[in-house]
Amino acid sequence: MFYNENMETLLEEIKNKKLVLDVFKALSNELRLDIVQSLSKSPKYVNDLQEEFSNYDPTSISKQLAVLKNSGIVDSVREGKKIKYYLKLDCVGKMIMCIDSH
């Protein structure tokens, strides 16, 4: 029994570390970081993000949103024909604001 409990704890720690690593990897891109900062203020439709980051092509924005979604930082909800993205891990937005304030 001792072995199984330790293995479960170890597997949970590995899973948590992988999540943390995935989050930091996702934030290591300037556009993705900018998107997270924008979504930390309020949820946005894809077309709003495309307007806000008009210096990037829509395909790049969509790819970066997919990376953020796969890492668990953001999620989306379909509203009719539109897709709205929101910050799923609000602690990431808070962490970025904390770093920005120093």
Taking the model in full, what pTM does it have?
0.82
In this structure, are strands 82-87 and 44-45 parallel, antiparallel, or unpaired? Answer: antiparallel
pLDDT digits (tens, 9 = 90+) for 56-77: 999 999 999 999 999 999 999 9
Give 79's strand partners. Answer: 82
Q: Sheet of 74-79: strands edge to edge?
A: 44-45, 82-87, 74-79
Output the CA–CA distances (angstroms, integers) from residue 93 to 5, 19, 58, 77, in the order listed.
Answer: 34, 16, 23, 19
Which range of residues forms the domain containing residue 39?
A: 2-100
For residue 84, give the CATH number of its domain. 1.10.10.10
pLDDT digits (tens, 9 = 90+) for 1-45: 445 566 677 667 767 788 888 889 999 999 999 999 999 999 999
Tell me how many domains the chain contains.
1
Question: CA-based angle 19:92:97, to the nearest 5?
Answer: 155
